[in-house]
């Protein structure tokens, strides 16, 4: 019988919020278990002077936490789902995905100017190739510069005048109660989100079935299904967590929809499409959409980007 659970996470304010949220949800169902949080620094936390290009190690923000899980130093690992590599690790199982928060990206600006008001004289910070490519697709004259650091650090850099605007995930801003800095929410037509954005994943060791059964109690089935399609789409295209690939799936009534896109790094080429199915149909929408895009110029674009 499990009496205690050690929760592994990164040490940022956002990561700690997410770990504590998992702890709260588990405590509601299993109040007699003792929970503790173990902070772990990842390579992404230690290397702050390197831009996040597509050639960085997969698992840049999660590998050390996953290693601790495999080695038994922690019992479960909590991650932002969009940081997890899409390739499976046979030693680890994603046992639950919490109900997704806001999947949108948001625009923050120092002087409350809207995105459409920005010109080449304004500096926009983002560490995401996906966001940069979509910004340049909207306006090739925008001045988009790399930025590193956690949510708080980035906002401080903007307030200090290093950047005029930032593109960030709405879920992270909202979870930290920093909505006052949001200038506008960017809808799917302007900035399609990263696969899995807004969702929190909980991993367990593959051979710990009792623990898996406990963690699975806080799984949100709809979010699990939708994010599976998004990540399946990215996986078939061969991309990673910082590729210029975007996807979002949602369920409305009896219908499930998946929208996805892939862009050139300079934003000049955008291939975007969508697929739908009845919710009860057993179809991998991610694979289906990837095939559509690959057959509509995606293969050539992927070669140009150089995923392989």
DSSP state of 246: E
Joined together, the tokens standing for residue 101 give: 């928060």
b/e per residue 135-154 (b: at least 16 CB within 10 A): bbbeeeebebeebbebbeeb
For residue 57, with 0-12 CB atoms within 10 Å meaning exposed, 13-18 middle and 19 or more buried, which class applies?
exposed
Task: Find all residues with CB under 8 Å of 135, minimum gap 6, and list them.
Answer: 124, 126, 142, 144, 167, 191, 267
Instruction: With CA atoms as reference, report the closest residue to 11 among 49, 52, 58, 44.
Output: 44
Cβ–Cβ under 8 Å, residues 26 and 214: yes
Catalytic residues: 83
Q: Which residues pair with 261 in a beta bridge?
A: 246, 272
- Range list of H helices, the chain: 13-29, 43-46, 63-70, 129-138, 151-159, 170-175, 209-215, 221-237, 285-293, 299-305
- For 149, how many CA atoms within 13 A lie in the half-sphere containing its CB? 12
At 3, phi and psi to the nearest 5? -105, -20
């Amino acid at each position: 019988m499990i009496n205690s659970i050690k929760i592994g996470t990164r040490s940022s304010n956002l990561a700690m919020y997410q770990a504590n949220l998992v702890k709260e949800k588990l405590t509601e169902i299993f109040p007699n278990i003792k929970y503790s949080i173990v902070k772990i620094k990842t390579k992404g936390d230690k290397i702050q002077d390197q831009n996040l290009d597509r050639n960085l190690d997969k698992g840049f923000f999660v590998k050390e936490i996953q290693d601790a899980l495999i080695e038994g130093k922690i019992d479960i690992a909590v991650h932002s789902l969009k940081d997890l590599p899409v390739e499976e690790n046979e030693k680890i199982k994603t046992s639950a995905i919490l109900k997704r928060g806001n999947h949108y990206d948001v625009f923050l600006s120092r002087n409350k100017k809207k995105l459409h008001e920005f010109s080449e004289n304004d500096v926009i910070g983002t560490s995401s190739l996906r966001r940069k490519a979509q910004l340049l697709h909207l306006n090739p004259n925008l001045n988009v510069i790399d930025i590193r650091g956690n949510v708080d650090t980035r906002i401080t850099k903007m307030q200090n005048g290093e950047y005029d605007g930032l593109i960030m995930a709405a879920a992270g801003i909202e979870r930290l109660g920093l909505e006052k800095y949001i200038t506008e929410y960017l809808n799917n037509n302007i900035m399609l989100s990263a696969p899995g954005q807004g969702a929190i994943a909980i991993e367990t060791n593959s051979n710990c079935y009792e623990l898996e059964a406990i963690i699975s109690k806080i799984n949100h089935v709809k979010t699990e299904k939708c994010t599976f399609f998004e990540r399946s789409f990215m996986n078939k295209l061969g991309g990673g967590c910082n590729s210029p690939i975007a996807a979002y799936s949602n369920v409305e009534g009896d219908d499930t929809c998946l929208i996805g896109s892939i862009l050139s790094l300079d934003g000049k080429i955008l291939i975007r499409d969508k697929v739908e199915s009845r919710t009860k149909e057993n179809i991998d929408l991610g694979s289906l959409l990837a095939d559509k895009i690959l057959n509509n110029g995606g293969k050539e674009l992927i070669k140009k980007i150089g995923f392989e």
